[in-house]
């Protein structure tokens, strides 16, 4: 028998049914307040790090108050260093998609209305307390009559209606900004807006998520270290998703991994090679690889992927360009990297490209094989000043989620291993490409050249070894 308890107080956006006008008033009010504070700070010359951090914290809290759409926007903006000051990027990076769970009565009511059956004709047991809750839904553990343990993902009530209101409100806000702030045109906010909602509407269709999961599983069917829970289609609708229960070790807990005899560096290699395959071979990748969406299987010592709502597909042309760029990065080929970034729209050619090339060379030399040291940027202070004046870097809408995935994954990898090395972690992937592409293929040729270069670099003695040899 199910026992119910009082749920936490739901957020305002879930309790209050907004009209289009009311929601637009909320959104424009928040935007207007934020713009006013920015204007006042500029007018009074308040441009310190402390002030920017305070404004950024206010923005994060306001996004949480406005609800799921704006939480997702904040998470996407956390990768946009081309748009926002560093203080905002840092605060938005802390934005967690955690809100109080909604009541179990509402969850059961939605499940029963979706299937037209009492809940206990579907599940032998249904656990009242959710094991996870976020802005889009929550997850309950359950037991099928076959004895199989499952998890049931239940969409939050009124979510679709709220997205529809936010789509209208944000559309008006984007058009308002384009009209009154012409300098924003270069950021192509309309394309980002369309791309964002296209992904968001897919994320709340649980049948689509189930299909994404099966496609992802098929892409990795020959890799026993990549594990995807099974979808139970008889217990799935657009708002309810039933999956195999598959617990694991948190991917951001290196001590727990070591306690189970699992090498965090090996998990890094599995994760990096998995994402390189998603991005550069399959062209179909999980756009939100935060620690809550992954875990480590205790017995198979591989990665479990849980959430396939936010998936992104890359065109064949972009995929090939990214693959060539990846090999150029590993070979530290500055000219080729710059050329490819221009092709992909990430760099806009300027009259003097020397500072751009020097910056790319610096990044390739310093950070492809070791953690980022921000103090090292003092070596190219002059080039950075030129960068801020010229603003040659761009982030096309289609690249937003690619960068979001890469930066999130990089954070997970460095948490597991502070000495994480992309070149070393990518070795198995590069080796697999050299075998798969064949001798006459340009990508295969690039991969073989890159593999030879990596092996050469990894065989080179460290600076410490060189010093000892000279003694």
- What pLDDT is stored for residue 322 in this prediction? 83
Q: What is this structure's pTM?
A: 0.78
- Round the average pLDDT of the chain to a whole number and report it: 82
- What pLDDT is stored for residue 224 in this prediction? 95
For residue range 401-442, what is the model confidence (pLDDT) as tens digits?
Answer: 787 788 778 888 888 888 888 778 888 888 887 666 554 455
Q: Give me the catalytic one of 161, 222, 253, 288.
A: 288
d(Cα 339, Cα 353) in Å, to the nearest integer? 11
- What pLDDT is stored for residue 257 in this prediction? 95
Better-predicted residue by pLDDT, 181 or 132? 132
- What pLDDT is stored for residue 138 in this prediction? 93
Phi-psi region of 6 (alpha: psi -120 to 50; beta: other; left: phi over 0): beta
The lowest-confidence range among 177-186, 256-265, 372-381, 394-403 is 372-381
DSSP 8-state symbol, 393: B
d(Cα 68, Cα 78) in Å, to the nearest integer? 15
- What pLDDT is stored for residue 376 in this prediction? 53
- 240-244 vs 149-155, strand pairing mode: antiparallel
* Mean pLDDT in residue range 2-18: 58
Better-predicted residue by pLDDT, 64 or 237? 237
d(Cα 364, Cα 378) in Å, to the nearest integer? 16
List own/partner pairs for 341-344 with CB under 8 A and 24 or more apart.
Answer: 344/318, 344/396, 344/399
Distances (CA, A) of 272 to 316, 336, 441: 21, 23, 24
- Residues in a beta bridge with 393: 347
**Band of the pLDDT at 140, cuts 50, 70, 90?**
very high
* Mean pLDDT in residue range 283-294: 86
**Band of the pLDDT at 145, cuts 50, 70, 90?**
very high
- What pLDDT is stored for residue 372 in this prediction? 52
- What pLDDT is stored for residue 130 in this prediction? 95
173 has pLDDT over 70: yes
d(Cα 35, Cα 58) in Å, to the nearest integer? 12
**Band of the pLDDT at 377, cuts 50, 70, 90?**
very low
- What pLDDT is stored for residue 13 in this prediction? 72
- What pLDDT is stored for residue 76 in this prediction? 75
List own/partner pairs for 123-132 with CB under 8 A and 24 or more apart.
Answer: 123/150, 123/152, 123/235, 126/2, 126/152, 128/2, 128/3, 128/4, 128/5, 128/104, 129/104, 130/101, 130/104, 132/292
Is residue 288 part of the annotated active site? The answer reads yes
d(Cα 166, Cα 158) in Å, to the nearest integer? 12
Measured torsion, CA atoms of residues 338, 402, 225, 132, in degrees rounded to the nearest 10: 150
Phi-psi region of 343 (alpha: psi -120 to 50; beta: other; left: phi over 0): alpha
* Mean pLDDT in residue range 247-267: 93
392 has pLDDT over 80: no
What are the tokens at 437? 């592409």
Q: Concatenated DSSP letters for 150-216? A: EEEEEEPTTHHHHHHHHHHHHHHHHHHHHHH-GGGGGG-HHHHHHHHHHHHHHHT-HHHHHHHHHHH
**Band of the pLDDT at 296, cuts 50, 70, 90?**
very high
388 has pLDDT over 60: no
For residue range 42-56, what is the model confidence (pLDDT) as tens digits?
Answer: 899 998 999 999 999
* Mean pLDDT in residue range 111-124: 96
The lowest-confidence range among 77-81, 279-283, 340-344 is 77-81
**Band of the pLDDT at 227, cuts 50, 70, 90?**
very high
Range picked from 23-27, 97-101, 199-203 for highest mean pLDDT: 23-27
**What is the number of alpha carbons within 13 Å of residue 466 lying toward its C-beta?**
5
d(Cα 81, Cα 79) in Å, to the nearest integer? 6
Q: Tell me the three state secondary structure of residue 315.
A: coil
Question: Is residue 418 a contact partner of residue 105, using CB atoms and an 8 Å limit?
Answer: no
- What pLDDT is stored for residue 358 in this prediction? 82
65 has pLDDT over 70: yes
d(Cα 362, Cα 380) in Å, to the nearest integer? 8
Closest to 253 in 3D by CA, of 416, 417, 419: 416
- What pLDDT is stored for residue 101 in this prediction? 87
Measured torsion, CA atoms of residues 328, 333, 334, 336, in degrees rounded to the nearest 10: -60
Q: Which residues contact 313 (CB under 8 A, 6 or more apart)?
A: 283, 284
391 has pLDDT over 70: no
Q: Which residues contact 33 (CB under 8 A, 6 or more apart)?
A: 62
The lowest-confidence range among 129-133, 160-164, 330-334, 359-363 is 359-363
- 226-227 vs 303-305, strand pairing mode: parallel
- What pLDDT is stored for residue 5 in this prediction? 41
Better-predicted residue by pLDDT, 1 or 122? 122
Q: Which residues contact 434 (CB under 8 A, 6 or more apart)?
A: 444, 447, 448, 451
Q: What is the 3-state secondary structure (H, E, C) of 361-380?
A: HHHHHHHCCCCCCHHHHHHH
* Mean pLDDT in residue range 241-254: 94
- What pLDDT is stored for residue 453 in this prediction? 58
- What pLDDT is stored for residue 51 in this prediction? 93
Q: Tell me the three state secondary structure of residue 416.
A: helix
* Mean pLDDT in residue range 258-272: 94
Query: Angle CA(8)–CA(10)–CA(15) in degrees, nearest 5?
Result: 150
């Amino acid at each position: 028998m199910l026992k119910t308890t009082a749920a936490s107080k739901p957020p305002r956006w879930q309790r209050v049914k907004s009209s289009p006008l009311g929601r637009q008033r909320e959104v424009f009010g928040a935007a207007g307040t934020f713009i006013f504070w920015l204007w006042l700070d500029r007018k009074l010359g308040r441009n310190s790090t402390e002030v920017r951090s305070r404004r950024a914290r206010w923005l994060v809290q306001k996004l949480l108050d406005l609800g799921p759409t704006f939480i997702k926007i904040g998470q996407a903006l956390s990768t946009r260093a081309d748009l926002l000051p560093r203080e905002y990027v840092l605060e938005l990076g802390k934005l967690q998609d955690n809100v109080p769970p909604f009541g179990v009565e509402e969850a059961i009511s939605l499940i029963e209305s979706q299937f037209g059956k009492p809940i206990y004709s579907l599940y032998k047991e249904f656990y009242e307390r959710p094991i996870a809750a976020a802005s889009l839904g929550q997850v309950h553990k359950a037991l099928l009559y076959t004895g199989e343990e499952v998890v049931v993902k239940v969409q939050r009530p009124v979510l679709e209606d709220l997205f529809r209101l936010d789509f209208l409100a944000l559309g008006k806000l984007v058009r308002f900004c384009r009209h009154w702030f012409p300098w924003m045109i270069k950021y192509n906010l309309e394309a980002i807006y369309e791309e964002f909602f296209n992904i968001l509407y897919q994320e709340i269709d649980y049948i689509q998520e189930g299909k994404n999961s099966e496609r992802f599983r098929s892409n990795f069917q020959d890799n026993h270290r990549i594990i995807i829970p099974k979808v139970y289609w008889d217990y799935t609708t657009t708002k309810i998703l039933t999956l195999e229960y598959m617990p694991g070790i948190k991917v951001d807990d290196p001590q727990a991994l070591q306690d189970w005899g699992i090498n965090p560096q090996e998990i890094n290699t599995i994760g990096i090679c998995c994402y390189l395959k998603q991005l550069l071979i399959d062209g179909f990748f999980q756009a939100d690889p935060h620690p809550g969406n992954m875990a480590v299987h205790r017995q198979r010592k591989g990665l479990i992927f849980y959430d396939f709502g936010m998936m992104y597909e890359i065109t064949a042309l972009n995929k090939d360009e990214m693959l060539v760029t990846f090999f150029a990065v590993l070979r530290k080929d500055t000219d080729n990297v710059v050329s490819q970034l221009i092709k992909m729209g990430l760099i806009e050619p300027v009259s003097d490209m020397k500072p751009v090339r020097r910056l790319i060379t610096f990044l390739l030399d310093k950070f492809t094989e070791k953690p980022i040291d921000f103090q090292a940027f003092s070596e190219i202070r002059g080039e950075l000043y030129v960068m801020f004046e010229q603003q040659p870097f761009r982030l096309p809408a289609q690249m937003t989620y690619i960068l979001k995935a890469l930066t999130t994954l990089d954070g997970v990898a460095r948490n597991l291993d502070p000495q994480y090395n992309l070149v070393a972690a990518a070795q198995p992937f590069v080796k697999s490409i050299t075998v798969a592409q064949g001798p006459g293929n340009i990508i295969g040729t690039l991969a073989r050249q890159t593999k030879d270069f990596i092996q050469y670099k990894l065989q080179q003695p460290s600076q410490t070894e060189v010093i000892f040899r000279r003694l």
